Structure 1
Amino acid sequence: MDDKHFLMAIDIGTTSVKCLVMNAEGVTLTSSSHGYQIINRHPSWVEQCPDDWCNAVIRSIKNCLIDIDSKDIKAISFSGHMSALVMVDEEGEPLYPSILITDTRSSKQTSFLRERYLERVSKVTGNEPLDAFTLSKLLWVKEEYPDLLGRTSKFLFPKDYVRYKITGLMGTDPTDAGNSLLYDIKKKDWNWEFINELDIPESIFPAISNTTAIFGQVSKKAASLTGLKEGTPVVTGGADMACSQVGTGAILEGVMAITLSTSGQVVMAVPGPHEYGIGKVTFHPAVNTESMYTMGTIFTGGLGVEWGYKLLFNKERLDKTDYKELGILTKEMEGCSPGSEGLLFLPFLVGSSTPHFDTTDRASWVGLSLNQDKALLLHSILEGITFNILENVNVVKKIAGNAHKVHIGAGGSRNRVWCQMIADVLGMDICTLSNRDGSALGAAIIAGTGIGLFSSIEDAASKIVTIKDDIPFNTERHKTYHSLFEGYQEVYHSMNRYMHKYLSSPKNH
């Protein structure tokens, strides 16, 4: 095989773009990342400028091409954050900022869908209506800005918009379409009957291409902007968590993946929606068109650690010295015993996602006293987040069965104390991954599969997704955590009742 069969992946994340180039063996040759702002014009509004993604992509590609000759890149593919709405006009220009997955301005529309269409939506998609899904955002635009919807030529998802700027072609794929609540997972097409009933224009829906299909080529304009070779094949790509399922190995039978980034996710392959999981976790089309994945989402992942550190050190943002200090504190945490000496943290800084789906939930510390140091406080934060991970793992196991392997990925997997804690709380041996960038790695595998470099997604994942460390769980600590988890659940339900009584905010469920 030619040594110069290089693959480029472009991962459009919620805070930054990651451009990665790897060879056919899965070795990362170079990578570059550039960030962009999240816009909060009103409470509950979370937006981004789509062209900020493109500018970051151009800079990241140029940086990678300092080390790599563009003629050696045989295919490009994309990963992008899910459910975000991008509306473009006939010229392909954005008409409005992208409304992101965490934006909750559409609570009125979500309530309408839950009251009128709960059973119908659940039956077709495996999911209950939530603000996170694109449908609620579209209905908000329809009701609040009907003229804007009337001027919309197409709506796209983040990776689709960036891919359009690279190829000049518009479209989407099943893994992103499946996060809209307007995709029929059995027919593998838009749910046109439901779309018409909701009076959403059919014309704005993009054509759906297979995730691993060759979608187009790098255009002359994109080549001049990025340095890529004109005509380079561009493979469709997928939603970030669908790509992450590939890049963490969770697309393989019996493998569960836990990702630890700003939020956390628990992912495992399933043949389709499971009645027990509807309303507790979410279900999404996988890159493999014959399967799906179920996902538990932990809103407070690394976000909780960052919040705790900023609070304890009176910081607005973290710099290199803070990460060094975090490393020292992590070393000190090795001496902390399970239960953090009676200190318990409920990790719901932005409400709870799966399995509770309750926007009223709040974070809290229970058991504070005068003699608790910073390492212990941060240790309790990690334990609270890990208990929330366990809640999701328990649901996923009932749906997908016991996992024979648990892979840990993303930035939090660098924290050995946290990884050991997860193993001990779950009572399962875990493996950290050699390549923590699951979404980017998955997109690169998709690119290679699209041009026939790999025989299948599964075959490529089985060879390219490799283990860095095996971390066995400690039996005694697991027994202690099993008891502490029962206490966590009791405190959660007690605090949940308190919040509902005194915050007077409706439960989004």
Structure 2
Amino acid sequence: MKYMLGIDIGSQSLRVFLFDEKLEAVSHRSTAQYIEVERPLWATQNANLWWPAICGSIRSILGETGVDPKDILSVGCCAHMHGAVPLDKQGELLDENIQLYCDKRTYELVGRLYQDGTAEELYETAGNIPATSWFGLKIRWIRENQPKLYDAIHKVLTPKDYINFKLTGMACIDPTEASGSLLLDVATGQWSDLLIRKIGIDREKLPAIVPATAVVGEVSRQAAAETGLYPGTKVAAGSGDMPTSMYISGIHRKNVIVDLSATTGVIACHSRHPILDRRLLNIHSPVSGWIVYRSLDGSGADYRWLRDTLAAREVYEAEKARADPYDYLSSLAEKTPAGANGLLFLPHFLGERTMGSMHSRGAFIGLHLGTELPIMTRALLEGVAFDLKRTIDVLEADNVRAEVVHHVSGAAKSPVWSQIKADIYQKPVYTLQGNEDSVLGAALLGGVAVGLFSSPAEAVDAAFSIKDIFEPNPCNKQLYEDLYHAFCQAHDALQPVYERLSIHY
């Protein structure tokens, strides 16, 4: 039996899975990860925790299974996107506190790009508007605010590419991450001298761009000694976690949109070319074409906040019964009427990238003395769905045909949330078997790189299987339409309030 290893660095967990040729998960390990919020608008993660967690997980898996490391044919990695990992000439990490995709400290730089007209110059070349999430702007922030560190940089990598570097010693980046930099020419697929000059960084600090299914190198002797992998094991370039999840979720299928709701919520479709709509973002697909999307920098992160902040008793009861606290909270939401008794939730705890302000915040609207946790839980699940529906409306206005929704990642484990989304979207929602999503996708890209599959499409077809179908409940259609309009009104009305609050906080 031959095997593929998949690695996924998430904002809440780091996962390592070993899959066999039948795509069965033979063994896996998960290590908790945390978002550090040192000050408002900042969101970082400690990069020094990733490699020890990966090494320990791989060694533990090998010890448990007894798999011969020589039988692991490939390693594929994905990770949260856009983080700027600075390395010196010796390949040492210069700063462990990595800006995450949801870190918005570059907002002043983004503002300057709009004020001086540069944003419009960049748009057609980059295929994206300037946003605080982009990799290139994070590098520029380092240049402006940490000049000594910037001068010491030899290469800047993304989190996934940093792990590939630790495994192989090769510094490179794939098109999904390169297209999320504001430095890539979408027409040529190469770094743009124009964009690099306008953003104001040094080209030599950027890595080479290679296809996601390319072998970037082999596990080095040092990495083999630390991980237990066999030296010479092939390592694929891989792709960012979101496009990897989209790939494994069947986004390339006809008339499909994907709802990926993990820490962040994403609605996306596949397109042959970027869709130039300033409310949307464009990321290169791991295989071909483009993933057109909008992100909600909340979703699972907001749900975790509710669990940790408001549901201590319920979490205790669930753990005492050896149940998943989220399953327990979902059961509370299921017993609550649709519409949450008129309670609205705005899920923008981490601000907005598009269709709102980086200063947007979360809010419950309609609280009264009788409001209890089950109603707040239901309102949170509905509020996330309302916000994601805004993206579906934009895609359809841009002539994207969306007949079904593939619901994947953490939220898809909740039948209650899937049904809520079917009712609010007014579309059938499919959940998929396995739901390992990004980590399986990472492993499959590794398998494609070494020839275990003849094509990326064959790999996905081998893994793709529908689990459940949730049809819209016609009884809830009018209610949710009314509440959706109220949600959009509340969102727009609160924008000036958030801007005023941001002056002081």
TM-score, normalization by structure 1: 0.92
- Alignment-derived partner of residue 88 in structure 1: 87
CA distance in 2 between partners of 1:343 and 1:264 (Å) = 21
CA distance in 2 between partners of 1:288 and 1:99 (Å) = 27
Residues 1:426 and 2:420 are matched in the alignment: no
Q: 1:43 to 1:447 in 2, by over 3 A?
A: same
CA distance in 1 between partners of 2:220 and 2:426 (Å) = 51
Return the letter of the residue paired with 2:294. Answer: G
In the TM superposition, residue 504 of structure 1 has moved relative to its aligned partner by 5.5
- Alignment-derived partner of residue 65 in structure 1: 62
CA distance in 2 between partners of 1:199 and 1:385 (Å) = 36
In the TM superposition, residue 147 of structure 1 has moved relative to its aligned partner by 2.5
- Alignment-derived partner of residue 302 in structure 2: 304
In the TM superposition, residue 217 of structure 1 has moved relative to its aligned partner by 0.7
CA distance in 2 between partners of 1:437 and 1:333 (Å) = 25
Return the letter of the residue paired with 2:235. Answer: V
In the TM superposition, residue 400 of structure 1 has moved relative to its aligned partner by 5.8
DSSP-derived class of the 1:337 partner:
coil
In the TM superposition, residue 197 of structure 1 has moved relative to its aligned partner by 4.9
Within-5 A mapping of 1:228-377: 228-275=229-276, 277-278=277-278, 280-289=279-288, 291-313=289-311, 320-321=319-320, 324=324, 326-354=326-354, 356-377=355-376
In the TM superposition, residue 411 of structure 1 has moved relative to its aligned partner by 1.4
- Alignment-derived partner of residue 445 in structure 1: 444
* Conserved? CA contact 2:132–2:353, under 8 Å: no
Q: Pick which of 160-169 and 196-205 moved more.
A: 196-205
- Alignment-derived partner of residue 456 in structure 1: 455
Q: 1:335 to 1:196 in 2, by over 3 A?
A: closer
Return the letter of the residue paired with 2:465. Answer: T
* Conserved? CA contact 1:20–1:31, under 8 Å: yes
Gaps of 5+ in 1: none
In the TM superposition, residue 236 of structure 1 has moved relative to its aligned partner by 1.0
CA distance in 1 between partners of 2:11 and 2:334 (Å) = 32
Q: 1:162 to 1:38 in 2, by over 3 A?
A: same
In the TM superposition, residue 352 of structure 1 has moved relative to its aligned partner by 2.8
Q: Pick which of 208-217 and 337-346 moved more.
A: 337-346
Deviations 1:57-87, CA, capped at 9 Å, x for gaps: 1111112212133122111111121110011
* Conserved? CA contact 1:252–1:458, under 8 Å: no
CA distance in 2 between partners of 1:136 and 1:298 (Å) = 20
- Alignment-derived partner of residue 120 in structure 1: 121
* Conserved? CA contact 2:156–2:205, under 8 Å: yes
Q: 1:208 to 1:488 in 2, by over 3 A?
A: same
* Conserved? CA contact 1:125–1:283, under 8 Å: no
Q: 1:39 to 1:360 in 2, by over 3 A?
A: closer
Q: 1:14 to 1:400 in 2, by over 3 A?
A: farther
DSSP-derived class of the 2:357 partner:
coil
Q: 1:316 to 1:144 in 2, by over 3 A?
A: farther
DSSP-derived class of the 1:238 partner:
coil
* Conserved? CA contact 1:18–1:33, under 8 Å: yes
* Conserved? CA contact 1:428–1:473, under 8 Å: yes
- Alignment-derived partner of residue 10 in structure 2: 13
- Alignment-derived partner of residue 27 in structure 1: 24
CA distance in 1 between partners of 2:197 and 2:449 (Å) = 34
DSSP-derived class of the 2:17 partner:
strand
Return the letter of the residue paired with 1:113. Answer: L
CA distance in 2 between partners of 1:39 and 1:369 (Å) = 32
CA distance in 2 between partners of 1:11 and 1:390 (Å) = 27
In the TM superposition, residue 41 of structure 1 has moved relative to its aligned partner by 4.0
* Conserved? CA contact 1:211–1:236, under 8 Å: yes
Q: Pick which of 472-481 and 442-451 moved more.
A: 472-481
CA distance in 2 between partners of 1:406 and 1:228 (Å) = 38
* Conserved? CA contact 2:74–2:235, under 8 Å: yes
In the TM superposition, residue 179 of structure 1 has moved relative to its aligned partner by 0.9
Percent identity between the two aligned chains: 28
DSSP-derived class of the 1:459 partner:
helix
- Alignment-derived partner of residue 44 in structure 2: 47
DSSP-derived class of the 2:469 partner:
strand
Residues 1:496 and 2:498 are matched in the alignment: no
Return the letter of the residue paired with 1:297. Answer: S
Q: 1:323 to 1:345 in 2, by over 3 A?
A: farther
In the TM superposition, residue 20 of structure 1 has moved relative to its aligned partner by 1.2
Within-5 A mapping of 1:52-201: 52-66=49-63, 67=65, 68-97=67-96, 98-116=98-116, 117-201=118-202
DSSP-derived class of the 1:420 partner:
helix
* Conserved? CA contact 1:179–1:284, under 8 Å: yes
CA distance in 2 between partners of 1:72 and 1:400 (Å) = 47
CA distance in 1 between partners of 2:99 and 2:349 (Å) = 21
Return the letter of the residue paired with 1:158. Answer: P
* Conserved? CA contact 2:314–2:325, under 8 Å: no
DSSP-derived class of the 1:142 partner:
helix
Deviations 1:446-495, CA, capped at 9 Å, x for gaps: 11111122121122212312111111111121232112211222222222
In the TM superposition, residue 212 of structure 1 has moved relative to its aligned partner by 0.4
In the TM superposition, residue 45 of structure 1 has moved relative to its aligned partner by 3.0
In the TM superposition, residue 262 of structure 1 has moved relative to its aligned partner by 1.7
Q: 1:503 to 1:316 in 2, by over 3 A?
A: farther
* Conserved? CA contact 2:37–2:44, under 8 Å: yes
Deviations 1:119-175, CA, capped at 9 Å, x for gaps: 122111221111111222111122222222221111111111111111111111111
Gaps of 5+ in 2: none
* Conserved? CA contact 2:176–2:285, under 8 Å: yes
CA distance in 1 between partners of 2:502 and 2:37 (Å) = 24
CA distance in 2 between partners of 1:194 and 1:362 (Å) = 31
Return the letter of the residue paired with 1:242. Answer: P
Deviations 1:353-397, CA, capped at 9 Å, x for gaps: 44x231232222222222233211211111111101111121223
CA distance in 2 between partners of 1:498 and 1:444 (Å) = 45
Return the letter of the residue paired with 1:234. Answer: V
DSSP-derived class of the 1:251 partner:
coil
Q: 1:194 to 1:494 in 2, by over 3 A?
A: closer
* Conserved? CA contact 1:11–1:17, under 8 Å: yes
Deviations 1:232-258, CA, capped at 9 Å, x for gaps: 111111111111111211133322111
In the TM superposition, residue 341 of structure 1 has moved relative to its aligned partner by 1.6
